[in-house]
Amino acid sequence: MTGTGPLRVGIIGLGRMGQNHLRVLSSLKSADIGFIYDIDRETAGRLASAAGVSAPESLEEGLSGVEAVVIASPTSTHEEYIRRSAEHVGNLFVEKPLTEGLESSIEIARFAEDKGLNLQVGFIERFNPAVEQMKKLLDRSTQVVSVDFVRTNKLSSRITDVDVVTDLMIHDIDLALFLNGPVRSISAHGVANDGMIDFATALLTHDNGRLSRVQASRITDKKIRSIQATCKDMFVDCELLQKEITISRHSALEQRPGEPYRISSTEERIEVQPREALQLELMAFLEFCHDVRAAGVPGPAEGLAAMEVCEQVLNGILQSTQE
């Protein structure tokens, strides 16, 4: 579609992320909220009243009056809502993961291509200003050896249908692919409680020779979001929560007569604009709906690639726990 006026957008799913989408979209002049929908009718009605928007009893009623849809419902419902929405709307945003499993993700990616959908997958960290700066640094370097990703959360009562790999680690799996390219081999280990994986670590070897070490945990009390890159010419420490990047470099090898040698180093801080990643992500989606494909916007292919790696990580963990 083309045009410059506000896009009428519907929101499906009004949990924490759905409410964040409602907040951000309500603040954007390029968006007009056409409806919000949740199977919890009380929540939908209360939020609709507060925001001054419609909360139709029928999803199809809402879909018939919008140009784009944001799907922020539980993972297990993504496939259903993508298919139902696609009967009325050609512009879809679905929170990560694309669907709950690899097989259904393959089917949805094929479905999106056959229907000619503009489908964006919600890998929000791609729009974190610190990640954007990190990518520029690594793209300029020919000496990247390894990139480490750590993501931890205390187990949330709102997450009941996905393990730590498809809930948390998938963000960094996508970033590993985004920063380092396709993967040629994977090894993984983890810890499962009551049949659900709550701690996972994986080593990805990329086609270009780089390594990605990815760790995710829901049994750690401290919330961590970090990326650290080891390069032959520098070490880059990126804090995603504080949006801070520090570069450490060896500057000189010093040795005075009769004294041990010393390696002096320099430290440089990269300024990162303090912008909200979700706002940037949704702005990119709205442009995408107007046929302006912004660089780095993840579609079905990227959603499927991340799910393929997730599947291998899950299989590796299950195999390691059975040995």
User: 263-307, pLDDT tens digit by residue?
Assistant: 556 889 998 988 999 999 999 999 999 876 655 689 999 999 999
pLDDT for the residue numbered 323: 60
Condensed to tens digits (0 to 9), the pLDDT of residues 20-59 reads 999 999 999 999 999 999 999 999 999 999 999 999 999 9
pLDDT for the residue numbered 251: 64
pLDDT for the residue numbered 296: 65
Sign of the four-CA dihedral 237, 204, 100, 223: negative
Helix or strand holding residue 246 (H, E): strand 244-254
Contact 171, 157 (CB under 8 A): no
pLDDT for the residue numbered 320: 75
Domains in the chain: boundaries:
7-122, 126-275+306-322
Q: For residues 194 and 21, which has the higher predicted lDDT (pLDDT)?
A: 21
Q: 75 vs 15, 36, 167, 206, CA distance in Å? A: 12, 18, 9, 28
Average pLDDT over residues 101-113: 97
**CATH number for domain 7-122, candidates 3.90.1260.10, 3.40.50.2020, 3.50.50.60, 3.40.50.720:** 3.40.50.720
- What percent of the chain shows pLDDT beyond 90? 79
pLDDT for the residue numbered 252: 58
pLDDT for the residue numbered 3: 54
- Closest among 32, 31, 38, 42 to 15, alpha carbons compared: 38
Q: For residues 81 and 194, which has the higher predicted lDDT (pLDDT)?
A: 81
pLDDT for the residue numbered 155: 64
Average pLDDT over residues 111-135: 96
- What percent of the chain shows pLDDT beyond 70? 89
CATH topology match: 7-122 vs 126-275+306-322: no
Would the pTM count as exceeding 0.75? yes
Instruction: Tell me the two tokens of residue 5.
Output: 């006026």
Condensed to tens digits (0 to 9), the pLDDT of residues 145-162 reads 999 999 998 765 455 567
- Closest among 68, 162, 176, 175 to 123, alpha carbons compared: 175
- Closest among 267, 156, 275, 172 to 220, alpha carbons compared: 156
Amino acid in position 300: P
pLDDT for the residue numbered 162: 75
Domain 126-275+306-322 indexed as CATH 3.30.360.10: yes
- Closest among 288, 278, 287, 286 to 18, alpha carbons compared: 278
pLDDT for the residue numbered 2: 47
